[in-house]
Structure 1
Amino acid sequence: MAHWARRAGHIRPDSTERRVGILAGYGNTSYGDYFIGLGMATAAFEAKLQPVILGRDSKLEAFRSAGIEAHGLPDRDHGLRDFSAVASQLSGFILGGGGLFEDRVDATASQTLAAGYAARAVYAKNHGIPTIIYGVGVEREPFALQQTEKILSQAFRGASSVAVRDRDSVEACRRFGVEAQLVIDPATIFLNSVRPEPSIESGTAGLIPFARRAWPRMSNPSEVEHARQDADWEIAAQRLAGYRRVIITPFHRSDLEYVDRIHNVLTSRVHKLEVEIADFTPENPGGVLGVLRKCEHILTMRYHGFMAAHFAGVPSIDVLGGSQKLRVTDALNREGLLGDMWDASRASKQIQSRLRQFDIYRSS
């Protein structure tokens, strides 16, 4: 990847259309990815730019059905030539948002994924494409592989600007010699646009799962991995025992591997508990708020699950798990600061301000 991203001459789009590529883990597998991508695309349209989503090799229906150009490209060290072809037609490039650099820093899967995203930013910058990093999470602990850290440093130091979604990520960027700006997660822009009226059903709670103990083999888990992950479902059963009904709400396609197991643990541990499993509809990511708005309480293991519950008007939200983004969000919620931290109007203004940087490059 380092050789592929080497410096070369400037690339100029064949068209005069102001096309801005937005690259992250967007795919037909996760609501959170769609929340972010649709929010950033909305802000790009409002800034009179044409968003071009560069996601994983998947269907990407939620973007295309909204009239947004979207390309499914393999990640890591695959699909680099395909990325180059699309990038050559861009006026600007955004890496983000989401937890692209906020995962298990000692795991091979995380390191190759992070390096792949960073290498694409280095490639764009080295080929004369104005590049910014926006709305990402960055783990404070360095990645174990020195080469991954090197590529990340090149990407962050080479970007025109860097903006991250939490204070821990601001601190993490300092190891690259970069002072990042703290910005609001652009997912708020989309979630605010589909915010429903609350319709709370008494005694109803929701569980947004994440198979953290089976990670990174969340798909097709073995019985051993299932047994290890059952510990969290047992904790969830204890914490949801006071409710009459629980709606298990998958946020990622891999969650579907576990919903039956969760159902069995909850019903066996909580007497007369009614358990439902919500449909997973990535082609309509905003629809999940219609499920969450019924709940008087949400127990979430996912950061964007917390955010979706907030915008659905759920009055009580709690977390299960200790990831960086969940800890930060839970602390802000307990301090009553989420309304300000997730102000969608401010989020839109922040990203549009960054997008206008591309005007400077186009007029030069």
Structure 2
Amino acid sequence: MTRAFNFCAGPAALPTAVLERAQQEMADWQGKGLSIMEMSHRSKEFVSVAEKAEQDLRDLMQIPDNYKVLFMQGGASSQFSMIPMNLLRGKGKADYICTGQWSKKAIAEAKRYCDVNIAATTEANNFTSAPSQDELTLSADAAYVHYCPNETIGGVKFDYIPDTGDVPLVADYSSAILSEDIDVSRFGMIYAGAQKNIGPAGLCVVIIREDLLADADAMLAGTPTMFSYKVAADNGSMYNTPPTYSWYLSGLVFEWLKQQGGVAAIADINRRKAQKLYDFIDGSDFYANPVAKHNRSIMNVPFTLKDAALDKTFLAESEAAGLLNLAGHRSVGGMRASIYNAVPEAGVDALIQFMAEFAAKSS
């Protein structure tokens, strides 16, 4: 079998070593005579898998003891509702920073539950940068401040963590979690859909400071039990049957990351991969990247061709060359290479070589 290089934004590439181990354990997990998918989530075997996955994630991210780690369903998009339901705690306003399509979706959902103050937006420049700290207009009475540190679609990354004072900072890290070290203590809550840098779709990791776990009286009226972070925390993320196979595979990814040397080591590789690709794009008169250089993502690299009429040919020929899923998001078009942790440096090298050859014959 030949593995192609997969540049999909999500569901994204998984480490080959993880897939091979999962394949080995598929029908018979550690001699138990059944798959992990068939195992009770309350069995001592699966509980040990779940506990190890959480501890490995805590180790990788250096998560402080006063934070809960939750493995939840519904993807990151469910969090757009769950955040105001849990974190408003009697307040009627929240601040949101708008830097792309995922920020806009989070804002639209939050407006169903509270007044939203747009602390800053870069929509005027087509979301090609992130606002600086001094451009943020924050509310002293906000329940929380929400932002997306890395916008998957536009390839825009914050080059700093916003200072929000005593107001909890909430971050959608779906496409950047585990790509670089971050100081978790700067945040009230971090959440991330698994299908980009953690594991397969079907899981969302939530890292939340314990003082923000609202009880039933503090939550927004009518909040479903399944949407309560406190209920999830009190039940070890097993109030109902969790997505066990996604949880197991995520644990294998955490193990793999530790074997690579941890987040700091993978971050060095990520920066090198991204720099190679950006240097090639910047040195070409055939390709272009619209994002401000200090806000360029190291995970998602959008780019355009000199002539958009060549897009379909580029995609067909790149796929034939084993370079998959390079089409940009349907809302913006163009191309996008998502170069998450599991995308090897050799994949970026192969992409650059193909881009150079395509430009040479198409110019």
The two structures have a TM-score, normalised by structure 2, of 0.26
The two structures have a TM-score, normalised by structure 1, of 0.26
Larger RCO (CA under 8 A, 6+ residues apart)? 2
